[in-house]
Amino acid sequence: MQLTGNTEWTWGTAQNQAFQQLKKQMVEDVILTIPNRKGKFRVEADASNGAIGAILSQQQEGRWRPVAFMSKALTAMEGNYEIYNKELLAIMLTLSEWRHYLMGALEDVEIWMDHQNLQYFHKPQKLN
């Protein structure tokens, strides 16, 4: 089998083992952790043209563990937003959805996003 150019592609033992491991990981259930006030929380949110998705994790025993997942299809109106507004919408909706976890947190909450236009919001802003 040839993919591109003159490079030959083979399916060997290493590729088969990697594929079997990937299949195994995809069918295993994710176990959600019970949050506590003492651990650090992280919100990871992302948006696309049609939906938003997010994960709430908490650091426990030195590892980040999932607490909750969220996804939502965008309405027709939300789908017309610019991408940076979709990213901000994802953050706002997740913070609202998980406020009962986050408001009692004893440590700062991390918000992770991947859109460069939102770098402005990474720094504390002085609001009037």
User: How confident is the prediction for the chain on average, in pLDDT?
Assistant: 87
Nearest by Cα to 75 from 91, 52, 100, 44? 52
Is 14 inside a domain boundary? no
Is 71 inside a domain boundary? yes
Is 57 inside a domain boundary? yes
CATH number at residue 61: 3.10.20.370
Is 12 inside a domain boundary? no
Instruction: Label residue 124 by pLDDT band (50, 70, 90).
Output: low
Q: Residue 108: which domain range? A: 31-122
How many distinct structural domains can be found in the chain? Answer: 1
Is 4 inside a domain boundary? no
The answer to whether residue 1 scores a pLDDT higher than 70 is: no
The 10s digit of each residue's pLDDT in 17-42 is: 999 999 988 888 778 999 998 899 99
Predicted local distance difference test score (pLDDT) of residue 100: 93
Runs of H (alpha helix) within 68-109: 76-79, 83-97, 99-102
Is 17 inside a domain boundary? no
Nearest by Cα to 57 from 115, 110, 121? 110
pTM across the whole model: 0.70
- What mean pLDDT do residues 95-123 have? 82
CA distances, 124 to each of 56, 107, 108, 111, 113 (Å): 22, 17, 13, 13, 16
